[in-house]
Amino acid sequence: MRRIHMHAVTHPSSFQHTAAAVAIRECMPQVHTMVAEFDRRRKFLHSALARVHGWKIAEPEGAFYAFPDIRGTGLTSASVYDRLLAAGVQMVPGHLFPMGEGFMRISYATSMEELDKAVGRIRHAFP
């Protein structure tokens, strides 16, 4: 098992090297398209959540997540989670992260249509 594990997780096989080389050589236009799309979603979500009553948000700089500050609502992250879930929005409450109480985590790795729908529901839950 040690030998199988070593070869499975410590280095890619030759066919994976070949696939990576092809991807780097031939897929960069698609990569640039997706980077631009995620940037559009990031900017949209940042702007929209900054206008939610009691919420503040720093502009996300990486990954596919925003971590809005919900302390202005006077509620715990667990309470905000419950309110959002009742409104049909799934987020991760900040208390599940080290020193994250008072924040929520939301992913923007979904369609603009879904983000727009979620933002509408969030605004409805926090008028």
Q: Which residues pair with 58 in a beta bridge?
A: none
Q: What is the pTM of this model?
A: 0.78
* Domain assignment of residue 52, yes or no: yes
Query: In the prediction, which pLDDT does 5 show?
Result: 66
Q: What pLDDT was estimated at residue 12?
A: 72
Q: Is the residue at 58 inside a domain?
A: yes
Burial 55-82 (b: 16+ CB within 10 A, else e): bebeebeeeeebbbbbbebebbbeebbe
Instruction: Kindly calculate the radius of gyration of the chain based on its CA atoms and give it in whole angstroms.
Output: 19
Q: 1-30 pLDDT, tens per residue?
A: 776 766 666 777 788 889 888 888 898 899
The verdict on residue 11 lying in a domain is no
User: Does residue 62 sit within a domain?
Assistant: yes
User: What's the CATH code of the domain at 36?
Assistant: 3.90.1150.10
Number of domains in the chain: 1
CA–CA distances in Å: residue 63 to residues 40, 82, 88, 114: 13, 25, 24, 18
Residue 37 in domain: yes
The confidence score (pLDDT) of residue 74 equals 97
Q: Is 25 exposed, middle or buried (0-12, 13-18, 19+ CB in 10 A)?
A: exposed
Alpha helices in the chain (DSSP H): 2-9, 14-26, 28-49, 77-87, 112-125
3-state secondary structure of 115: helix
33 in a structural domain: yes
Measured at the CA of 72, the angle between CA 67 and CA 77, to 5 degrees, comes to 50
Domain that includes residue 66, residue range: 29-125
102 occurs within a structural domain: yes
